[in-house]
Amino acid sequence: MKQQKTTWQGNSTKRHNSAFFLFVFLGMLTAFGPFVTDMYLPSLPAMTSYFGTSVSMVQLGLTFSMLGLAAGQLVFGPLSDKYGRRAPLLISMGLFLVSTLGCIFSPTIELFVLLRFVQGLAGAGGIVISRSIATDKFKGLNLAKALAVVGAINGIAPVAAPVLGGAILKVTTWRGVFAVLFVLGVALLGACIHFNESLSRVKRSQESVWKTLSLFKQVVKNRTFMLYVLQMAFAQGMLFGYIAASPFIIQEHYGFSPFAFSLFFAANAVAIGTGAALSVKFKRQENCVLASCAGMLVCSVALLAALLAGAGVWMFEALLFVMLFMMGLSFTASTALAMDAVRGQAGTGSALLGASGFLFGSIVSPIVGMGNILVTSGITFVVCAVCSGVCALLARPSKKDVKDSQSAAAVL
């Protein structure tokens, strides 16, 4: 982007946030939710012993944090359309810090699980508002470029967070993982204080809070937006299916150590991030989505065949790497197209877009563990890829729409 600085209009003063600060800030906000959810995963066995409870009870902390991330986006999205982006961000960060301290000093597993829901609820504010801020400031290809940063981090964070959590556990306990999350929350709170409002008062929703929530009805009626939401949700279903299945496939089926598994995880995170970053090379984001869906379908079918045929680990990893790369392309492009379709209700649209991914993830994750994980994970990949591709095809603008859009651009 040619601009070196981005102007932000506050309520009473006019300040500047540099473009560098903006991209770092958006990246931190985007990564925050997945880190809240996933960074403590390697700690689960130690926490089971510490609290003297069952594995399933400790895993409820993960389930409740994902539910919080989904519900929080549905709350903070409309609120940010009503009150601006900065105030809800400050509230969410404050709530996160309080809940994280509660997690660290929780005397019982029941209180810990409850606080994990609050943590997820608070972390959702960063995810949903980061997309809204990008939509406030950019349009068209520039919006896609801004969201490329968001998409790359959104793809990398869920798979990178457990690796970082495992590294932290080598030098501390599970409480240390939450202490690191607390420090990250403090840093983000400072960034939120420095950030100046991106949504001016005149552009905010003038309805009451309850009527603001009714914006969901308007957004859901937007056919293009909903198709891209579903397209991305199915793609994220593949991502969460991969996260849930890969530890068992790599470690139990192929016999690799946990450390070796973390290296596979890191390589695949690079694949997702690279795909998200390269999506802006497409002149039309619609073509990027179609190309990514076609790639995901081909790779998922090949993966299913490879798993059924007993292929070696390197064949499995090569196909998985390419599939995740294609998935990364989809994340950025579909996010940009969806957000562009609901520019007038960016916060609400961002909320629904983000919540759908976590909801689909919570559904897919247990499915891949049913029966033979090699078969169920492969079938899940194929089904999600097919559904994602169908949504992308239905969302394509007609030739008339494209012609009208080009004519309008020529007039301008």
* Tokens 């301008």 sit on residue: 412
In contact, 235 and 359? CB cutoff 8 Å: no
Which CATH homologous superfamily contains domain 12-213? MFS general substrate transporter like domains (1.20.1250.20)
What's the confidence (pLDDT) of residue 98?
A: 95
User: Do 12-213 and 223-341+368-406 fold alike per CATH?
Assistant: yes
CA–CA dist 343, 222 (Å, integer): 11
CA–CA dist 323, 56 (Å, integer): 31
In contact, 375 and 259? CB cutoff 8 Å: no
Q: Beta partners for 14? A: 9
Tens of each residue's pLDDT in the chain, 412 residues: 444 444 333 343 455 667 778 778 887 887 887 788 778 877 777 787 889 887 667 767 777 887 888 888 888 877 888 888 889 999 999 999 999 999 999 999 999 999 999 998 988 888 778 777 877 777 766 666 776 666 667 667 766 787 788 788 888 888 999 999 999 999 999 998 988 887 778 877 776 767 666 777 888 889 999 999 999 999 988 988 887 777 778 877 888 876 777 778 778 888 888 888 888 788 888 899 999 999 999 999 999 999 999 889 999 999 999 999 999 888 888 888 888 888 777 777 877 887 888 788 777 877 777 778 889 889 999 999 999 999 999 988 755 444 544 443 343 3
Domain chopping of the chain, boundaries: 12-213, 223-341+368-406
CA–CA dist 115, 99 (Å, integer): 6
- CATH class given for the domain over 223-341+368-406: mainly alpha
CA–CA dist 325, 267 (Å, integer): 11
Q: pTM of the predicted model, to two decimals? A: 0.69
In contact, 358 and 370? CB cutoff 8 Å: no
* Tokens 């012993």 sit on residue: 49
Angle at 171 between CA 169 and CA 174, to 5 degrees: 35
Count of C-beta atoms within a 10 Å radius of residue 311: 15
Q: In Å, what is the CA distance from 122 to each residue of 85, 148, 153, 224? A: 14, 24, 19, 29
Max distance between CA atoms of the chain, in angstroms, equals 69
Question: Element (H or E) spanning 38, and its range?
Answer: helix 19-38
In contact, 113 and 64? CB cutoff 8 Å: yes
